[in-house]
Amino acid sequence: MPKRSSFVISHTFYCSLCLLLACVANAYDINYSPFQPEKTPHLYPMQRCKVVKTFINAENEKTTWVLHTPQAAGVVLVVNRTLEANTIRITNRQTGQQLLVPAKIEGWIIGDEAPEVSAALLNEDTKTDFVLQTNSGGCGLGGQRFFRLFILSVGNLYQAYSMWTYNAGSEDFVDLNKDGRAEMIHTAFVDAEAGKDGRTHNYWVFHLLRFTGAKAIPSDRLQPGFPCWIFFTFSANHHPTDQLTNRQKIKAWKARVDNDICADAEDWPAI
Ligand SMILES: [Ca+2]
């Protein structure tokens, strides 16, 4: 095991640090974004699904939210919170047919607030897809961990695909190569072995994902500079790090993810 300097901080400590620094909520930490501040990319259109009805059953502590969906989607979207599990389900608006096997929602649903859900065209077809996200970190600037559930159209049905990211927000969804399709900027927080300066450090790692069928897959080739490793320096930094060799990045990525982000993330390219 490589010896780690005291500078490498644990996720727990980092979250505590973020509580102290908390002032701005943003997708990918704005101080360490993979873009220069004046070159923030154009956002991909997302439509927030607002709550239209809330049903609260105090006796069994169940809350049900019915969310607005675009008319063209032709679906009813319902989130259930119970003592046992939180789930989301989708049915055909006309027939009531179940279109999604009820999918489990991880992360937190706090108080009477429904989780954030947005509609967008994410995969390659022209049917509406959905993204649900919940916070699970409770940290502030730069450190909030989020659960994301993608509900993707496949034929006439929907399939769910989940992952964890940091600092989730609508700014994560972009069209960097301007081809009319969405890319998502995924954020990971990785520590690696000693770099060029002989010390160990933490890094934000940004990947581009694109949605194909029922999955999100890495698509870094669409934009030079991805995946992007940004040295966490306790002050704003937007420059790819030169601390690590390609071999060290590959090693650090595989060691760090280990099914932490999603089932496929260990195989995402590190360089
Ligand atoms: Ca779709």
Summarised one tens digit per residue, pLDDT across range 215-227 is 999 999 999 999 9
Band of pLDDT at residue 17, cut at 50, 70 and 90: very low
Q: Encode pLDDT of 58-68 as tens digits.
A: 998 999 999 99
pLDDT score of 141 more than 60: no
**What is d(CA 120, CA 129) in angstroms, rounded to the nearest whole number?**
5
Average pLDDT value for residue range 192-208: 93
Which of the four pLDDT bands, split at 50, 70 and 90, describes residue 118? very high
User: Between 246 and 256, where is the model more confident?
Assistant: 246
Q: 215 CA to middle of ligand 1, Å? A: 11
pLDDT at 142: 57
- Residues contacting residue 47 through CB under 8 Å, at least 6 positions apart: 70, 118, 119, 120
Strand 228-231 with 202-212, pairing = antiparallel
Report residue 123 as tokens. Answer: 């995969």
Q: Report every protein residue that has its C-beta within 5 angstroms of ion ligand 1.
A: 123, 125, 127, 129, 153
Rounded to whole angstroms, the Cα distance separating 153 from 98 reads 13
Please give the distance, rounded to the nearest whole angstrom, from the Cα atom of residue 271 to the centre of ligand 1. Answer: 29
By C-alpha distance, which of 200, 182, 232 is closest to 29? 232
How far, in Å, is the centroid of ligand 1 from the Cα of 106? 23
Q: How far is the CA of 211 from the centre of ligand 1 (A)?
A: 9
Contact 20, 143 (CB under 8 A): no
Rounded CA gap, 137 and 184, in Å? 21
pLDDT band at 37 (very low <50, low <70, confident <90, very high): confident
Give the Å distance between the CA of 151 and the centre of ligand 1: 9
Give me ligand 1 centre to Cα 263, in Å: 21
Which residue, 267, 121, 156, 132, is CA-closest to 207? 267
Cα–Cα distance between 142 and 24 in angstroms, integer? 8
- Is pLDDT larger for residue 78 or for residue 145? 78
What does the alpha-carbon distance between residue 144 and residue 166 come to, in Å, rounded to a whole number?
6
Q: Ligand 1 mean position to 72 CA, how many Å?
A: 12
Give SS3 for 194.
coil
Distance 100 CA to ligand 1 centre (A): 13
